[in-house]
Amino acid sequence: MTNPFPLSKDDLLKCYRTMRTIREFEERLHVDFSRGDIPGFVHLYAGEEAAATGIMKHLNSGDRIASTHRGHGHCISKGVDVVAMMKEIYGKKGGTGNGKGGSMHIADLSMGMMGANGILGAGAPLVCGAALAAKFRNKGEVAISFVGDGASNQGTFLESLNLAAVWNLPALFVVENNGYAESTARDYATAVDSYVDRAAGFGMPGITVDGTDFFAVYEAAGEIIQRAREGGGPSLLECKMVRFYGHFEGDAQTYRATGELDDIRANHDCLKKFGVQVTAAGVISAAELQAIDQQVLAVIEDAVQQAKAAPLPTLADLTTDVYISY
């Protein structure tokens, strides 16, 4: 049977593995958080995997992204080490930030991951800078700012759209529209129905896709990333998606309509959708996917064990890493 997809079987398996890794990473955090193992605020990306994965598949390590408070999915799909991430979330040495940053501040500049961010919209100006640097380097690199539907109303984000267009930067803006900012509905807080119109207000093309459909995301992202690489300037991509869990761990989600969560899990699970698509096309077998599922579970279990076993930072670490020592 021929492969009807724009990716080789090998690449499809890789993408599935990435999505599954994100999913299991988050499912595990959900359990461990409720057990009291994990300190601080944790925002899970579960349900949104197709967006990060479908976009990041187009990127190389010279391409850069700036993420949000809900950053684990972006990190994993950008290639940040899962063990180092888990250690960071546990506040341990050997974490991406040696335990100093935590879930909201995972970064790995060597992989082009400029950081999750606790400040909404703050990644957008940074991405303008990354894209500007790319323009000066002139190697066709791009930079992508991820932002939630809520944060899409932040002045920093809006200014960045204009700046990126004015400077014709290889910058992309991805609005991850999961319908909520914390407990507040997107349709209340954002005055315009379509992000395509908002993009037009800043002179750039906008596209809306079903963010739970990996292939839809992959295709749309490919187009705008390619255009940016070729000097065609910025675009905005809205991914309509769903959040499997609450805003943060501990959220009772009483603001959701009855049946909403069941519907989400049943009908809008991007991993299920992907599985159906690739198995129905006969390109990948269910068994192959299950094998990955098992491998991923082991990877996550191992990451948790390593995180738990890792040493805690000590007083000596408290005052290092503020300024550069000369």
Partner 1 sequence: MARKISIKQAVNEALDQEMARDPAVICMGEDIVGGTGAGGEADAWGGVLGVTKGLYAKYGDRLMDTPLSESAYIGAAIGAAACGMRPVAELMFIDFMGVCFDQIYNQAAKFRYMFGGKAETPVVIRAMVGAGFRAAAQHSQMLTPLFTHIPGLKVVCPSTPYDTKGLLIQSIRDNDPVIFCEHKALYGIEGEVPEASYTIPLSEANIVREGKHCSIVTYGLMVHRSLEAAATLAKEGIEVDIVDLRSLSPLDLDTVLDSVTKTGRLVCVDEASPRCNIATDISAQVAMQAFSALKAQIEMVTPPHTPVPFSPTLEDLYIPSAAQIAAAVRKTIKGGQA
Positions in 147-186 near partner 1 (CB under 8 A): 150-151, 153-156, 159-160, 162-163, 166-167, 180-186
219 touches 6 (CB < 8 A)? yes
Cα–Cα distances in Å, from 5 out to 177, 219, 283? 25, 10, 9
Residue 115 CA to residue 101 CA, distance in Å, equals 10
Per CB under 8 A, the segment of 14-22, 236-244, 288-296, 311-319 that binds partner 1 is: 311-319
What does the angle CA 272 – CA 245 – CA 153 come to, to the nearest 5 degrees? 105
Q: Does 48 bind Mg ion (CB under 5 A)?
A: no
Positions in 85-104 near partner 1 (CB under 8 A): 91-92, 95-102, 104
Enter the tokens of residue 240.
């309509």
207 touches 237 (CB < 8 A)? yes
Nearer to ligand TPP, 11 or 182 (CB): 182
Q: Does 119 bind a copy of itself (CB under 8 A)?
A: no
Among 156, 277, 279, 306, binds a copy of itself (CB under 8 A): 156
Q: Does 197 bind a copy of itself (CB under 8 A)?
A: yes
**Nearest residue to the partner ligand TPP, using Cβ:** 148
Size of the site for Mg ion (CB under 5 A): 6
156 touches 165 (CB < 8 A)? no
Residue 13 CA to residue 9 CA, distance in Å, equals 6
Among the listed residues 243, 217, 188, 271, the one whose alpha carbon sits nearest the alpha carbon of residue 20: 271
149 touches 242 (CB < 8 A)? no
Nearer to partner 1, 100 or 265 (CB): 100
192 binds, options partner 1, a copy of itself, ligand TPP, none, Cβ within 5 to 8 A by partner type: a copy of itself
Nearer to ligand TPP, 20 or 72 (CB): 72
70 binds, options Mg ion, ligand TPP, a copy of itself, none, Cβ within 5 to 8 A by partner type: ligand TPP
Residue 86 CA to residue 129 CA, distance in Å, equals 29
185 binds, options ligand TPP, partner 1, Mg ion, none, Cβ within 5 to 8 A by partner type: partner 1
Q: Does 72 bind partner 1 (CB under 8 A)?
A: no
The distance of closest approach from Cβ of residue 296 to ligand TPP in the complex, given in angstroms and rounded to an integer, is: 23
64 touches 143 (CB < 8 A)? yes
